[in-house]
Structures are given as C-alpha cells and as structure tokens.
Amino acid sequence: MTAINEFIDNEVKNADVVLFMKGTPAFPQCGFSGQVVQILDYLGVEYKGINVLADDDLRHGIKEYSNWPTIPQLYVKGEFVGGCDIIREMFQAEELQGHLADKGIAFKGAA
C-alpha cells in the first residue's frame, strides 16, 4: 500500500463520517462539494472534511482508493457511499438517513 493509500485508509477508518472535498466545510471551493456539505449540515451529522486541494497526491490518491474519478466522496464507517449525485438522490429519497441510522450515526430527526 502506498503512503497516500495508507493515509486515506487511516482517515476513513478513524472517523465515522468522512468527506473528501474541494475546500473545507466552512468554505467549499466547488459547488458539488458544497452540496454535500449542505446536506450533512442540514442533517446535523458530525463529519470530518478533508480538503483534497491541499495536496496533489491526495487529490489523485483518493480517486484510485475508491476507483471513483470525481470529488466529493463520502465515506461512512470506512465505506464509500457516493459522490454528489448519489448523496443528493439518497438524501431526497431519505435513503441517506436510513443508511446513517443503520450504521449508528447520529443525525437530526433520527428516530
């Protein structure tokens, strides 16, 4: 495993919800990343945002780690859930909420 792979693996396993994004949760630098931030904030989910623009190795490494060519990427309990389109669709269908509940992640409005 390369160093960057190890770094990513460590990050997704050490926090319940991790968002690899462009920019930071407080200041997203891409509309797609911003949409996922809005959804997570709306749900009141605690998550760790990791700015891929801060490191070129990370920006490329994350695409290989998940075999997913675009950013943002959301991980829950170490598992890749989706990019912007998938997260938005899941949220609108309330599947994201179900997925978080299944994984034992606290969010607003959880039963």
Partner 1 sequence: MTGQNGAIELRMTKKLRDAFEPQRLEVINESHLHAGHQESFDGTGETHFRIRIVSSRFAGMPRIARHRAINELLGEELREGVHALAIEPAAPDEKVRW
- The count of chain residues that interact with partner 1, using the rule CB under 8 A, is 16
Angstrom CA distances, 12 to 2, 47, 72, 109, stand at 16, 11, 14, 25
3 state DSSP class of 20:
strand
CA 103 to chain centre: 15
Pick the closer one to partner 1 by CB: 15 or 30.
30
Among 9, 41, 56, 85, binds partner 1 (CB under 8 A): 85
Interface with partner 1 includes 38 (CB under 8 A)?
no
Interface with partner 1 includes 34 (CB under 8 A)?
no
Tokens of 96: 């994201």
Tokens of 102: 């299944």
3 state DSSP class of 70:
coil
Interface with partner 1 includes 84 (CB under 8 A)?
yes
Least distance in Å: CB of 56 to partner 1? 14
Among 5, 48, 57, 68, binds partner 1 (CB under 8 A): 68
Kindly give, in sequence order, each residue whose CB lies less than 8 Å from that of residue 104, ignoring residues fewer than 6 positions away. Answer: none
Interface with partner 1 includes 75 (CB under 8 A)?
no
Q: Which residues sit at the interface with partner 1, rule CB under 8 A?
A: 29-32, 67-70, 80, 82-86, 89-90
